[in-house]
């Protein structure tokens, strides 16, 4: 029995029983040394070169783990990258937060297919870029790596990415499991919550990825309810395997994910990455009776099952797939579709042909595509805002000042008709906190990590206020990973765009929007508050506390409950055209409910409506959110066109955690409503579900 024999056996009878038998038989052929080798990353030498040798960088080549040459078992070959494949100067796509703003699952599936092709071309077979951690508070430095604040949105985006990866022979690895949403204290913070919060809020999106076929999952650094995630039997075994039926393997987050190898293995953590550290002592732990050979075999079998199921689907992909013209065009499309228009007074946008434009601000002509941590993609070029606008409007029509000095900016703009101001954050203000390799008590300024403030930098706001005095229309473009509180200055701007971190073609995409070549139709994947204190509590480095309660409410569910005003709601976004929703109705189906409605483009430009379906439980004797997103569709419509749209929601997606029965189940009745902008809602009806259907 070798690896190819195991693959052939499974392909002849592709069911769970055969998979288990084939993997177990292959495991039995291995020596103990080979089995222990299967559970370890082998990137120690590669990692040292990556971090210390000039011209090299993190994950420049795939990081290997496991493998058994004697039996033809290939190693797991890891690549990172929520915004693209980190290896080999790949295509830098917009960050997931911007892709979440597209509300476009077809787009995300195509992006995932591009990721899979570039991963295969670079020699990888596992993609650890499906980041679906929940955005609780925009202070979180790595918010840019996920899709937003809503579990359903996270789950749908993660689900389509998982399917695309697995179908293309790349092992899908959702991360970071679980309750990971504080960066600076990621090695020490203890996130605490009750079961209702865990199952209703923080786990549904992970389950969707498992149900979609993910064959690996990455444990987080933090603790959950007092136990580190990579040593947490409740998460890794009780829920992930016993409740959800996960067949694949769990791997650690890098370097500091595991503190006790034997404890992690017994909890259900299978592979230590990226090198041998705590798992180097598994042999000694076996001799001392801390672990059993059966536990080692179980972990090895899980890795083998992932390889058997996934790798035969991988096709040969030429190196030319990396940074191909098709992928570059797709990155530009994603940047256009994820741009959110927040304000457009008097229809200033789109700009007329021949407009004279001044592009100013700290990011006017500066590469700004996200943090410099593990998600960094080393594309050979990036189109800045100035370069993109110059490409579209012509060099003679566009001036630039890259900085925040009001006098210099005004001078650059003196002959312009419009001023485009680039503000926000970069890798120095938010992102992965690589300085924090332990429990440090202070944080160097400009070292990434969690945000220090939810407002844009003071010099950015001062620049906006100064340029308002010119009397020229101001178009403010905000770059950054998640929400900013902008109430103090938003009235000064004629137009406000949110372009997040938009990838290597971001400047061209911005020009497409400004010129009207493309219609901005993105929607906010988070809520923009009026006051920073309106968001849930957050822990910063230096805090005396190391434990934080993760409450049941956050994001729009919290604002709905507290009835606090927000500046821009979840799902909000403007367009260069108008849409109407009508004739909405709801009906029961065998699997849940279906909502139908008519969507019409009532304006004079083509554009995309983003229909969002919300469900509200009619149960009055239990604490329930006022509404929850349960479906969405991006609907392209030509001017004057209308379409009939159907959105289906499953009974599983309607379920809440039942404390008494310790399981998920739907309530007896729900009302449904739809919206295109997060503000105006159209009722679709109320449905009752019989007790037997629960």
Catalytic residues: 253
Q: Please say whether the beta carbons of 545 and 188 come within 8 A.
A: no
Euclidean distance between CA atoms 234 and 236, whole angstroms: 6
- Which H helix or E strand runs over 686? strand 681-688
CA atoms lying within 13 Å on the CB side of residue 249 = 33
Token representation of residue 234: 């409740």
Token representation of residue 13: 């009878």
Euclidean distance between CA atoms 494 and 204, whole angstroms: 40
Euclidean distance between CA atoms 32 and 287, whole angstroms: 12
Taking each helix axis as running N to C, give the angle between helix 105-121 and helix 325-338, from 0 to 180 degrees, rounded to the nearest 10.
150
In 347-417, where do the E strands start and end? 357-361, 398-401
Q: Please say whether the beta carbons of 258 and 231 come within 8 A.
A: yes
Give CA 158 to chain center in angstroms. Answer: 8
Token representation of residue 252: 């650690």
Euclidean distance between CA atoms 401 and 513, whole angstroms: 21
In 275-429, where do the E strands start and end? 340-344, 357-361, 398-401, 418-424
Is beta strand 190-192 parallel, antiparallel or unpaired with respect to 547-549?
A: parallel
DSSP letter for 533, please.
Answer: G
- Which H helix or E strand runs over 307? helix 293-310
Q: Please say whether the beta carbons of 130 and 171 come within 8 A.
A: no
Euclidean distance between CA atoms 328 and 325, whole angstroms: 5
Torsion on CA atoms 576, 582, 586, 589, rounded to nearest 10: -70
Question: Before 574, cis peptide (omega within 30)?
Answer: no
CA atoms lying within 13 Å on the CB side of residue 290 = 14
Taking each helix axis as running N to C, give the angle between helix 3-12 and helix 293-310, from 0 to 180 degrees, rounded to the nearest 10.
70
- For every residue of 550-600, DSSP letters joined together read --S--HHHHHHHHT--EEE-TT--B-SS-EEEEEEEEEE-SSEEEEEEEEE
Other Cβ atoms less than 10 A from the Cβ of 14: the count is 11
Q: Please say whether the beta carbons of 381 and 442 come within 8 A.
A: no
């Amino acid at each position: 029995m070798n690896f190819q024999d195991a693959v052939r056996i499974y392909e002849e009878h592709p069911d769970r029983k055969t998979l288990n038998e084939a993997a177990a038989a292959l495991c039995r052929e291995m020596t103990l040394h080979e089995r222990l080798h299967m559970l370890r990353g082998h990137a120690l030498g590669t990692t040292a070169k990556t971090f210390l040798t000039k011209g090299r960088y993190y994950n420049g080549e795939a990081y290997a783990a496991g493998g058994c040459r004697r039996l033809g078992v290939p190693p797991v070959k890891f690549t990172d990258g929520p915004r693209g494949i980190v290896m080999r100067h790949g295509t830098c796509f917009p960050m997931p937060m911007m892709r979440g703003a597209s509300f476009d699952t077809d787009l995300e599936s195509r992006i995932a297919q591009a990721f899979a092709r570039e991963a295969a071309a670079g020699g990888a077979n596992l993609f650890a870029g499906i980041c679906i951690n929940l955005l609780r508070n925009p202070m979180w430095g790595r918010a840019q790596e996920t899709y937003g604040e809503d579990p359903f949105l996270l789950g749908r985006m993660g689900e389509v990415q998982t399917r695309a990866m697995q179908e293309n022979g790349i092992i899908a690895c959702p991360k970071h499991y679980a309750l990971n949403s504080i960066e600076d204290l990621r090695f020490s913070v203890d996130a605490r919550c009750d079961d209702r919060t865990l199952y209703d809020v923080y786990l549904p999106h992970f389950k969707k990825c498992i149900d979609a076929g993910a064959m690996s999952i990455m444990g987080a650094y933090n603790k959950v309810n007092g136990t580190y995630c990579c040593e947490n039997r409740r998460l890794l075994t009780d829920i992930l395997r016993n409740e959800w039926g996960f067949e694949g393997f769990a791997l650690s987050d890098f370097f500091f994910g595991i503190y006790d190898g034997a404890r992690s293995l017994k909890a259900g953590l299978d592979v230590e990455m990226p090198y041998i550290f705590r798992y180097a002592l598994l042999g000694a732990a076996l001799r001392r009776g801390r672990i059993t050979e059966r536990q080692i075999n179980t972990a090895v079998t899980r890795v083998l099952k992932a390889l058997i199921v996934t790798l035969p689907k991988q096709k040969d992909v030429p190196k030319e797939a990396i940074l191909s013209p098709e992928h570059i065009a797709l990155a530009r499309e994603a940047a256009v579709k994820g741009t959110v228009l927040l304000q457009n007074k008097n229809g200033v946008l789109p700009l007329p042909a021949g407009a004279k434009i001044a592009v100013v601000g700290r990011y006017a002509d500066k590469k700004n595509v996200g943090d410099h941590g593990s998600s960094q993609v080393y594309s050979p070029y990036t189109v800045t805002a100035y370069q993109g606008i110059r490409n579209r409007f012509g060099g003679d029509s566009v001036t630039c000042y890259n900085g925040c000095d009001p006098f210099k900016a005004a001078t650059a703009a003196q002959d312009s008709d419009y001023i485009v101001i680039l503000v926000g954050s970069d890798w120095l203000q938010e992102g992965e906190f690589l300085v924090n390799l332990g429990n440090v008590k202070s944080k160097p300024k400009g070292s990434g990590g969690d945000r220090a403030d939810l407002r844009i930098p003071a010099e950015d706001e001062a620049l906006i206020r100064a340029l308002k005095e010119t009397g020229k229309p101001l178009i403010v473009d905000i770059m950054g990973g998640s929400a900013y509180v902008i109430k103090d200055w938003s009235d000064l701007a004629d137009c406000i765009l949110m372009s997040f971190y938009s990838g290597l073609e971001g400047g061209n995409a911005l020009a497409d929007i400004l010129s009207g070549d493309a219609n901005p139709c993105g929607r906010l994947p988070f809520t923009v508050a009026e006051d920073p204190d309106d968001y849930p509590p957050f822990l910063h480095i230096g805090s005396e506390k190391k434990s934080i309660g993760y409450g049941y409410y956050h994001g729009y569910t919290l604002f709905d409950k507290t009835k606090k005003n927000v500046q821009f709601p979840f799902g909000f976004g403007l367009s260069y055209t108008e849409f109407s929703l009508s004739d909405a109705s709801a009906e029961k189906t065998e699997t849940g409910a279906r909502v139908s409605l008519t969507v019409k483009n009532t304006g004079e430009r083509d554009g995309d409506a983003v229909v969002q379906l919300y469900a509200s439980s009619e149960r009055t004797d239990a604490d329930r959110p006022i509404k929850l997103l349960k479906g969405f569709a991006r609907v392209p419509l030509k001017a004057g066109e209308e379409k009939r749209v159907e959105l289906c929601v499953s009974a599983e997606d309607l379920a809440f955690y039942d404390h008494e029965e310790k399981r998920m189940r739907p309530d007896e009745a729900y009302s449904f409503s739809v919206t295109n902008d997060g503000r105006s809602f159209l009722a679709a009806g109320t449905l009752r579900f019989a007790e037997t259907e629960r």
